[in-house]
Structure 1
C-alpha cells in the first residue's frame, strides 16, 4: 500500500513539474509576443490598461436610423497612430448622401484647433475607414456622422469618442473632399499627405471620371498663394511644383473642374509639403496663350533664379495644340533698366532647349517668353504673344551688350568667325578691320528689291542666312556686318532709323573709344528707276561726317 502511494505521489510530482515548466514557457511566450508588438503598440496597450475603458455611447440619431459601430468599442482608448472605424445603419434607405463623414480634431500646442475629414463610402448602409491620426502624439476627438434624410449634405452625429495617440511621429493621409471622390481623384505621387522636398516636388495623379480639361493646383504658406492649371491627358496629370515661399510647410490643394459650371473648380484634395530649402523664389506669370498654344515649361519652374551671363530655357509644345506644327521657335525678350534684347529659341520635334544672354550686366532681368503669330500675311514686322514671364538675376559684372550674339546676329558661329579673321588678317587697328568688313559686305551682298517691296521678311533672317544666300535688305547687311565684327571682339551695334522716308538699319562700331558709323547697304549700290539694284561700291558711307549723314539718315534707337 505504501508502495502504491509512493508511485502515485511520484507521478503527481512529475505532472506538477510539467505544469510548472509549461507556465514558465507561457510566460516567456507572452513576453516575446509583447516585444514583437513594437514599442508604440506596447505603449498603447499599457495606456489602455490604465484607462477606464467605458463602453462607447451612441448619439440619439443612432436609434433613428438603426446605427451602430462595431469598431471602436470604447469611449476613450489609446492607439499607435491609426484606428479602424466600422459601422452600419439598418434604416439607410432615404439617406441624402452616399458617404459617412468622419471628422478628426486635435488642439495644437498653440491652442489652434486642427482637423481632418474622411468620407467613407456607404454601401448597403455599411462603412469602413482606416483613420490616420495626423499630428503625432496627443489626444484627438473623433466624430462619426451619418447622412440625414431630410436635406442634402446634412449629417447627424452617430458617435463621438476620444483617441490617444502614443506615437509622436507625424503621419498624414492625402485629404480627399466629397468633390474629389466624385471626380475619382487619385494621387499617386506623393503617397503621403505629409511629405518633404527640397525646393521642388513632383505631383502625379489621375481623375477616374474626367479625361480631358485641366486641374488647378493652389499652393499656400504664410498668407501667400499661387495657383496654376495643369492639363489632363487621358485623365492623368503630372507636374513639378516649386515651393516658392522658403523653408517650412506649404499646403497644396487640388481643385477639379465643375461639371456644370464652366471655368469653375471645386476643392478636391489637399496635402502638406515641408520644404527643407531656405531659398524663396517668385512664381512665373502665365498668360492665356500658354495653354492655348500648348506650351509647357520644364525649366525654369519659378522666377528668382541667379545666373552668370546666360540662362537656360527648356520645355515642349503639345503636338495637338493649335499651330504646333508651325511653331518653329519661341521668342525670348529680356528687359533691364529700360533696355531690351530679343533672342530666338528653336523648336524641334515639339521640344526646345536653349540658352539666352543676360547682356546688360549685373542685376535683375524681366524675361518674357513668346510664341509667334502664325500667319500667311507678308509684312515688315512680326507679331508674337506672351506665354510666360519671370525674373532672373545676372551675377556677372560684365556688360557685353555690344559683343554677345543676339537676334539674327550669330557672332559665335565658327564660319562667321573664320571669315572675319580672314578678312582682317594683317589689318592694323580696329578701324582698318571695320573697313575690311564693310567692304566685304557691301561688295558681296546683293540688295533684294523684291523682299523690300513685298515685305517678304522671315523669322530666320540672320547673318548666317545672308552669308549663305548672298542677298538681303538693310537689316541683313547689318546682321552680317555686326556678326563679323563681334566675332573678333569688336563692339558693334544695330542701329534703327529712317532713311529717305523708309525704315532703315545700319551699323555703329566702337573704334579707339568712339562710335564710328557705317551703312554697308548704301555703300553697296542703288536702286534705279526700274526698281533694279545697281552695284556701285563706295566708301562714302563708312565713317561719314555726322552732318552729311544726318541729311539722309535719322537715328531712332539701337536693337539688341
Structure 2
C-alpha cells in the first residue's frame, strides 16, 4: 500500500508537499480525574469486561502476510486476529532485514467502526530501532470495534508501504482520548507540542498552540497551519524563533470540531512543508468569524498582527490594529510605519499607522459610511532614495463591518490632513468668524495657505517626497509642493467644519504637463474649486516667486483649462 501524497498551494509563491502519517506522544482529555480508589475499581471492572468479551470471541491466531517472510518480520504482540482490550493495544515486533527497508518506521492505521467524535481514523508511525519496534496504540473513540492495519516500508521504493498484518480489536473502556501523534518528518525535526496536550480538546472561540521544534534547519524556520471545517479551509505560516513557537489559533467556523493540521518545513526544499501532526478542536462557541488572509510577505517582513485575529468584526467609525515587527526580520528597523488601505463600494482610502520600537497600536477611520470594508495591511518598500510614489507590499487582508450611520469621508482627518490637531484648529479659529459665509470661510483659508507657504522647487525637482508629508509638516517647514498646499488647506477647511476633498490630476500648458493636486470644498451645497499652489506665485529661472493671486479661487472654466482632473484621493 502506498502512502497518500497531497499537494497544497497557498498565497504568493509558497508550494507545499504533504505526506500523510502520524506517531507517538500519549495524552488524555478527561475533564474530571477520578480518585486512586476509583481508578483501581474501574481498572478491575475493565479487566473483567476484557475477560468476558474475549470469552465470547473466537480468538483465531494472527497470520502475517507474505511480506513478513521477505523482510524477516515477526509480531510479538498482538497474537490474535480479534480480541478485547482496555483502551490500549500494544503493537510490538521485529524486522530482521531492517537495513533493506527504505524507511525506518512501522505505519499503524486504526479505523473506528462507527460514528466517531472527531475523525474515525488515526495513524501512528513507530520507529524501528535495531530491528525492533513497539507502539502503544490508544483506541481513541472509547468503547467499540476498531480495525488495525500494520504496515512495513518497501525495500525498493521510498514512501511506499506493504501490509504486514490486520486485526480487529474491541475496546471495553468508554473514555474518549486521542493521542498526540507525530509523523516521521515531525520526529526528525523533534516537533513537540506543549499545548494542547492531547489530540482532541474542547475550546471556546480560540485556542493556544505552543511547542518546540529544536532541530529545524535551513532558511525556512516556520510551520504551516491548515484549519478545516465543513469544507472551509484557512492556512497560515507561523514563524519559529529559537526553536519555539506560540500562536492563538482562532476557531473561525463556529460550533463543532475543527481539524488543525500542522506541517513542518521540508529540510531539502525551501518553501515546502511536510505533514507533522493533526489536532481536533471542538469549539463550544457558536460565533462564526472570517479568517484573515496572510501573504508570504507577512512572514518575510516579521509582521505579527495580534489584533484582530479574525475578520468580520463590527465597529463604528474607527477600527484598531495592534501588533509587532520582529526586530530580526529584514528591514525591521526601517519599517517605521504601516499602510492601511480601506475599500468599500469602489471607494478607497489610504491611512498610515506608525511603528514605534517595533510595535504598532493605532486606529484608522472607516470613512465611507455604513457597510462592509475590505482592509489591507501593508509594509512599505524600503528604498535608498525617496520618490514621488510610494510602493508597499500587502501582508494581511480582512473585512470589517461598520455600523456608522453617516458618510463622513470629506470631514474626517485623513493621511496628511490632521484636521483634529490643536495647531490646525487654533489657526482655523483665527481665520474664521461666526458671521462669515461659507464662501468667505473658504476664501480666507485659500488666502492663508497661498500666502504662508513657499513653493519647494528642490523637492519637486528631486522627487523628495516623504511618507509623513502633511499639513503639520508644511506648517513647520513653511514650504512645500502642490500636495502640501492641498494638505494644509484641507486640514483647515475640515477643522472649520467644511466638507473638502483632495483632487488629483495634471496641470500645465502646451506639452509641459505634470502631476498636480488641488482642493474642492463644498460651499452652500455646491463644490467650489480652488488651487492655493497656483495662487501662491510662480517659478522663474528655477526659483519660486511669491505673487499671490485670487485667480485660482473659484476659477471659471476658461481660467482652469490648464488643469485636468483625474479623481479624488482619500
**TM tier relative to shorter chain:** 0.7 to 0.9
Structure 2 unaligned regions, length at least 5: 1-34
| Cα displacement (A) at 1:419 | 2.3
Alignment RMSD:
3.0
Is 1:338 the counterpart of 2:363? The answer is no
In proportion to residue count, which structure has more helix?
A: 1
Does the 8 Å contact 1:416/1:464 carry over to 2?
A: yes
Is 1:535 the counterpart of 2:537? The answer is no
Aligned residue for 1:83?
Answer: 88
Among 174, 179, 184, the alignment partner of 1:173 is: 179
Is 1:69 the counterpart of 2:76? The answer is yes
Larger Rg: 1
Partner Cα distance (2:536, 2:75) in 1: 97
Does the residue aligned with 2:461 lie in a helix, a strand or coil? helix
1:52-99, CA deviations, whole angstroms, 9 ceiling, x for partnerless residues? 4477834346995474536799952242xx325263438465462433
- Alpha carbons of 1:446 and 1:74: their partners in 2 closer, same or farther (altered >3 Å)? same
Among 542, 549, 560, the alignment partner of 1:550 is: 560
Partner Cα distance (1:150, 1:175) in 2: 27
Which shows bigger deviation, 328-337 or 254-263? 254-263
Among 46, 49, 52, the alignment partner of 1:47 is: 49
Aligned residue for 2:225?
Answer: 217
What is the aligned length?
523
Does the residue aligned with 1:365 lie in a helix, a strand or coil? strand
1:244-300, CA deviations, whole angstroms, 9 ceiling, x for partnerless residues? 323211111112222334433221211111222323333333334333333232223
Does the 8 Å contact 2:145/2:168 carry over to 1?
A: no
- Alpha carbons of 1:337 and 1:39: their partners in 2 closer, same or farther (altered >3 Å)? farther
| Cα displacement (A) at 1:44 | 1.5
Aligned residue for 1:162?
Answer: 169
| Cα displacement (A) at 1:227 | 2.1
| Cα displacement (A) at 1:480 | 1.0
- Alpha carbons of 1:112 and 1:459: their partners in 2 closer, same or farther (altered >3 Å)? closer
Aligned residue for 2:525?
Answer: 513
Does the 8 Å contact 1:34/1:42 carry over to 2?
A: no
Structure 1 unaligned regions, length at least 5: 1-32
Does the residue aligned with 2:532 lie in a helix, a strand or coil? coil
Is 1:57 the counterpart of 2:61? The answer is yes
Partner Cα distance (1:231, 1:127) in 2: 34
Does the 8 Å contact 1:244/1:282 carry over to 2?
A: yes
Partner Cα distance (1:442, 1:540) in 2: 12
Partner Cα distance (2:84, 2:298) in 1: 54
Partner Cα distance (2:151, 2:386) in 1: 68
Structure 1 length-normalised TM: 0.84
Partner Cα distance (1:137, 1:51) in 2: 12
Does the residue aligned with 1:550 lie in a helix, a strand or coil? coil
Aligned residue for 1:15?
Answer: none
Partner Cα distance (1:138, 1:262) in 2: 44
Does the 8 Å contact 2:62/2:80 carry over to 1?
A: no
Aligned residue for 1:304?
Answer: 312
Among 425, 432, 435, the alignment partner of 2:440 is: 432
Partner Cα distance (1:485, 1:43) in 2: 83
Partner Cα distance (1:459, 1:540) in 2: 31
Does the residue aligned with 2:425 lie in a helix, a strand or coil? helix
Does the 8 Å contact 2:325/2:332 carry over to 1?
A: yes
Partner Cα distance (1:506, 1:34) in 2: 81
Structure 2 length-normalised TM: 0.83
| Cα displacement (A) at 1:386 | 2.2
